[in-house]
Structure 1
Amino acid sequence: MAGKRSIFEEVGSGNAAPVAPAGGMIAARATGARRGIRLWLAVLFLLVAAMIAVGGLTRLTDSGLSITEWRPVTGALPPLDDAAWAAEFAKYQASPEYQLQNKGMELEAFKSIYWWEWGHRQLGRVIGLVWLFGFLGFLVAWKIPAGWTGRLLGVGALGGVQGAIGWWMVSSGLKGSMVDVASYRLATHLGIAFVILGLIAWYVFLLGRSETELMQARRGREAKLFGLTTGMMHFAFVQILLGALVAGIDAGRAFPTWPDMNGQFFPADAFYVPDGAWWRAFFENPGLVQFIHRMSGYLLFAFGVVVWLRGRKSPHAATRRAVNMVMAMLLAQVVLGIYTALTAAQVHVAITHQVGAVLLWVLVIRARHLAQYPVAGSIRKGTA
């Protein structure tokens, strides 16, 4: 039996009885394993970013058509002996790329491009498995927070669609007189990759704070800045698609001058295409495609300055730092784009430009997130 307590004893002194969480299992379900899921998504993010870089190198090294079949399961094993290599090489020798562009290629040269494409596809399989095992693990353990099952499932579904679109893209270069994949299919493939990357980044940012913290932060939402960063996100996405069109027809190697295009502001024969369908020039004429990509880049930079000027007025230090980082990366990306043109898209320069697009994309999304859910600073701590 407990002893008598003094009327002067402070309330709360001694060992307090454990308090059960409000809502029991329901509350635990609502919270879920936010930290674990965030870490899993961060791994997926890094893998998808690597996938984009490897895909870019596969395109720049003209390796994308080296594997002429789509075998999602059995294709995981590369050729393991001389007979298997000879069989793979024979399939490639029957393709338009070999017949029209690489006639006489030796087996060793074929192996070098084969490994790039095989590695690209293998990385895609790894991403799929990491998503599948992670999702099923959290689902079975009942650790997915309320409202997040559909979001996480959607990421996996987009990944599956991306695999099918990848083959749809490759198949366009395996028939007729094609020696490259169709540029608009390449743009679709890259665009979905950036959508997946953007969704994962957004979810990682959301899971970095509790639902309560997010609800409180949204009360300080900067609507104007959120709208501007949303517009910049869409604008950057369009520019990424235009960059894919440039890469798809090797337009980046056609005009190695700046600020002019081989001595002209607007390239000659910009609307010429072999079959006479002028509208196809927007996808197939190197001069017109690169001109549009350049002009869009200038406009994106100008719009970025507007976003930066607005963002630096934010009352939140974290948001100001975020828009400063966007502006710095945007400037770096413009310089990289110019250098890529001047070097006729040398492999190491062009892939750096593509990686720069990934960094800019994520930084814009982060600035947008902080405009929607600002982090309140403290004057006393110097974080305001």
Structure 2
Amino acid sequence: MSEKRSIFEEVGSDTRPETRAGGIDAAKRGSRGAVRIWMVLLFLMVAAMIIVGGMTRLTDSGLSITEWKPITGALPPLNQADWEAEFALYQQIPQFTEMNSWMALADFKQIYWWEWSHRQLGRVIGLVWAIGFFGFLAAGKIPPGWKGKAFVVGALGGLQGAIGWWMVHSGLGEGMLSVASYRLATHLGLAFIILGLLAWYIFELSREERDLMQARRAREAKAFSLATGWMHFAFLQILLGALVAGIDAGRSYTDWPTMGGQFFPPYAFDIEPLWRNFLENPGLVQFIHRMSGYLLLIFGTVVFLRGRRSANKATRRAFTAAYIALWGQIALGIAAVMTAAHLHVAITHQVVAVLLWVLILRARFAAAYPVSTSVRG
């Protein structure tokens, strides 16, 4: 008796046709994966930019380049005459005449390279974004709904460059020995916003769109709401930290838990008009940063305890990781105070701020799109 044949089998063929399922989904996965790699690269570079920016501030290097040349400034001084010309420009600003008049050319080169590296890294980030964005756009590889998101990252990066110069320009005026602290806070705040957007986009691209749509229905609303508040509170603390760094307030009172031997620092409102004390008085600015840190720890504890009640293991782990980082950051903050913002301690404090920021966002994402776990785990 002859064997039955499939109606889809070609006559005279002994092999069944090869079937390939999910071709459209596979194409989407491929584009999402490539865009994700691009954004991971941008994320790492922005994180490095924040760290180099911190070193630039801690070494008082930010005013060593007194001109804004987005294109031609990519080339550093190439000969002795170029170096002397660059040094001559620096010698005209108050930071040199009133604070660093002892500097020779060799000393100037040390601070110049920090600022040049900071600006150069910004240029490279812009180039990597442009190549990736327009390359993916031309190839049609940007997933649906992602063109606007990818463009926003580049637009904010361009704005950051302009704000960077706005910040530097504030330190070149008469009587200024450093940049304005509120402009530094704006510059750092936008850097963390860009980093946060990239982190969130990477989290989204790490999972399939259909998976996210299903997970969104199981959103842990209370944990997500608390994590959102935690995120905003942490961002405020980052801005306050920038104000501290902008006026070297971390070196004004080096005792802990008191300040100058008392709870509230002396001479906290000596500057006129009164409002300037909240931006320029080292004692008051450091006091506000300390108190905000304590409140952030208390609120973070509440958020952690709520996150630990999640039925999903991934969510619990995400909140735990963020909470551990918070304790580490508090400890580093205290160490930074008691060492008068020692270079290595202060820059580690900033590195962990980046880590804490990303981990809080990760916990928020885990609550927004929980990864369900089966009974068997």
Give the TM-score normalised by structure 2. Answer: 0.95
Contact 2:237 2:289 in 1 (8 A): yes
In structure 2, what is the Cα distance between the partners aligned to 1:331 and 1:284? 28
1:231 aligns with 2:229: yes
In structure 2, what is the Cα distance between the partners aligned to 1:104 and 1:345? 23
1:320 aligns with 2:316: yes
**Gaps in structure 1 of 5+ consecutive residues:** 8-13
What are the residue-to-residue correspondences of 1:88-237 with 2, within 5 Å? 88-237=86-235
Corresponding residue for residue 310 of structure 1: 306
How far is the alpha carbon of 1:264 from its aligned partner? 1.1
Corresponding residue for residue 355 of structure 1: 351
Corresponding residue for residue 41 of structure 1: 39
Secondary structure of the equivalent of 1:33?
Answer: helix
Corresponding residue for residue 335 of structure 1: 331
Corresponding residue for residue 278 of structure 1: 274
Closer/same/farther in 2, CA of residues 182 and 19 from structure 1, 3 Å limit:
same
**Which string of whole-angstrom CA distances, capped at 9 and with x for unpartnered residues, describes residues 198-217 of structure 1?**
00000000000111000011
Corresponding residue for residue 291 of structure 1: 287
Corresponding residue for residue 254 of structure 1: 252
Contact 2:260 2:266 in 1 (8 A): no
Corresponding residue for residue 18 of structure 1: 19
Corresponding residue for residue 10 of structure 1: none
How far is the alpha carbon of 1:151 from its aligned partner? 0.3
What are the residue-to-residue correspondences of 1:25-104 with 2, within 5 Å? 33-104=31-102
How far is the alpha carbon of 1:75 from its aligned partner? 0.2
Contact 1:32 1:146 in 2 (8 A): no
Closer/same/farther in 2, CA of residues 84 and 379 from structure 1, 3 Å limit:
same
**Which string of whole-angstrom CA distances, capped at 9 and with x for unpartnered residues, describes residues 166-191 of structure 1?**
00000000011100000000000000
In structure 2, what is the Cα distance between the partners aligned to 1:353 and 1:244? 12
Identity %: 64
Letter in 1 for 2:261: G
In structure 2, what is the Cα distance between the partners aligned to 1:261 and 1:153? 46
How far is the alpha carbon of 1:269 from its aligned partner? 1.2
In structure 1, what is the Cα distance between the partners aligned to 2:102 and 2:20? 77
Contact 1:29 1:146 in 2 (8 A): no
Contact 1:313 1:320 in 2 (8 A): yes
The partner residue of 1:376 within 347, 372, 375 is: 372
Corresponding residue for residue 5 of structure 1: 4
In structure 1, what is the Cα distance between the partners aligned to 2:27 and 2:344? 47
How far is the alpha carbon of 1:104 from its aligned partner? 2.8
In structure 2, what is the Cα distance between the partners aligned to 1:349 and 1:20? 54
In structure 2, what is the Cα distance between the partners aligned to 1:20 and 1:229? 39
Letter in 2 for 1:314: S
**Which string of whole-angstrom CA distances, capped at 9 and with x for unpartnered residues, describes residues 66-118 of structure 1?**
00000000000000000000000000000110011111310000000000000
**Gaps in structure 2 of 5+ consecutive residues:** 7-14
Letter in 2 for 1:109: D
Letter in 2 for 1:253: R
How far is the alpha carbon of 1:379 from its aligned partner? 2.5
Letter in 2 for 1:296: S
Contact 2:74 2:120 in 1 (8 A): yes
In structure 2, what is the Cα distance between the partners aligned to 1:249 and 1:15? 75
In structure 1, what is the Cα distance between the partners aligned to 2:18 and 2:352? 54
How far is the alpha carbon of 1:4 from its aligned partner? 4.8
Contact 2:223 2:307 in 1 (8 A): yes
In structure 2, what is the Cα distance between the partners aligned to 1:16 and 1:371? 45
In structure 2, what is the Cα distance between the partners aligned to 1:346 and 1:28? 51
Contact 2:268 2:277 in 1 (8 A): yes
How far is the alpha carbon of 1:271 from its aligned partner? 1.2
How far is the alpha carbon of 1:267 from its aligned partner? 0.6
How far is the alpha carbon of 1:21 from its aligned partner? 5.3
Q: How many residues align?
A: 368
In structure 2, what is the Cα distance between the partners aligned to 1:122 and 1:74? 11
How far is the alpha carbon of 1:378 from its aligned partner? 2.3
Contact 2:314 2:371 in 1 (8 A): yes
